[in-house]
Structure 1
């Protein structure tokens, strides 16, 4: 049986790698080719991807220490889904110009907020000694 931390450590690292690659593409491949506002959207998407890649890695690290810690896997799933919808919709918006994609972005933002809330809950339980799921 696979350790519950493994997928999140891999996903977090791959999200981090992707954020660097897409950030570089925005800086070197899109600069001067898209409107400044769209380029700012691209960089926002890359920044949120990088930030939440680290959040997923934190979830993975917590799961290494406490494989059954309540709320940690939920937080990781919410971060991953939030990245896909928030950053993904902004990347797609910039590349396609389809403005309707911007309606998906706030849904992704809400999922990211949910991830932070779930991680706060997990941290409260773990640091309070109420969850010894290890």
Structure 2
């Protein structure tokens, strides 16, 4: 697994902080409460998964042959783009049909966590053989 994921995690983390500050300071007086909450949920899940990417990127050098870790990262990146991205767009444009896309990103997050479990099982199997 290439450690481009470390750069991706840093970029996504910084973007999450920027968007969180934008929501708290720039949107608070401009959006209705329900849309502000929607935006904040996008930021929250964005940051959770940026941190997960960081953790996997830091662990990856010890598990160079574990493809499941890279798959987890790709799934989480996809989840951030689809889940958080659709919530940001929904909050900023009040385009309600975007909410129908959001669960696809949620599924990508779940798949990423399942890939991480598979990566852990794979690491244990390789250690025990």
Per the normalisation by structure 2, the TM-score is 0.93
Could you tell me how far apart the structure 2 residues matched to 1:58 and 1:77 are?
Answer: 14
Q: What's 1:5 paired with?
A: 2
Q: Establish whether residue 45 from structure 1 lines up as the match of residue 61 from structure 2.
A: no
Closer, same or farther in 2 for the Cα pair 1:26/1:129, shift >3 Å?
A: same
Q: CA RMSD in A?
A: 1.4
Runs of at least 4 residues of structure 1 off by over 6 A? none
Determine which structure has the larger helix proportion and give its number.
2
Secondary structure at the counterpart of residue 67 of structure 2: coil
Could you tell me how far apart the structure 1 residues matched to 2:91 and 2:32 are?
Answer: 9
Any stretches of 5+ residues in structure 1 without a counterpart? Answer: none
The Cα offsets for residues 29-76 of structure 1, whole Å up to 9 and x where unpaired, read as 000211101100111100101100011112212222222213000000
Q: Establish whether residue 30 from structure 1 lines up as the match of residue 27 from structure 2.
A: yes
Q: Establish whether residue 118 from structure 1 lines up as the match of residue 115 from structure 2.
A: yes
> Which among 67, 70, 73 is matched to residue 73 of structure 1?
70
Any stretches of 5+ residues in structure 2 without a counterpart? Answer: none
> Which among 119, 124, 130 is matched to residue 126 of structure 2?
130
Q: Which moved more, 1:74-83 or 1:64-73?
A: 64-73
